[in-house]
């Protein structure tokens, strides 16, 4: 699924069905922020330093 097809409702419905949602390979910090905000369970990235910054800022 392309990033532009990943919606909050999709993530919510997947979670209701007992599924985990994974986003990969996230290559931009802005995209990482988006997939985290959408509630994905896992993010695979080729920019781990930026991803760690995002994780530490997450509530």
pLDDT tens digits for range 16-29: 999 999 988 888 88
**If DSSP states are collapsed to H, E and C, what string results for 1-59?**
CCHHHCCHHHHHHHHHCCCCCEEEEECCHHHHHHHHHCCCCEEEECCHHHHHHHHHHCC
User: So where are the chain's domains?
Assistant: 3-57
pLDDT tens digits for range 22-59: 988 888 888 888 888 889 998 888 877 765 565 555 55
């Amino acid at each position: 699924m392309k990033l532009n097809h990943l919606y909050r409702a999709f993530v919510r419905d997947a979670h209701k069905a007992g599924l985990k949602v994974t986003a990969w390979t996230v290559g931009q910090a802005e995209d990482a922020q988006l997939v985290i905000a959408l509630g994905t369970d896992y993010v695979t990235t080729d920019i781990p330093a930026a991803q760690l910054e995002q994780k530490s800022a997450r509530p």
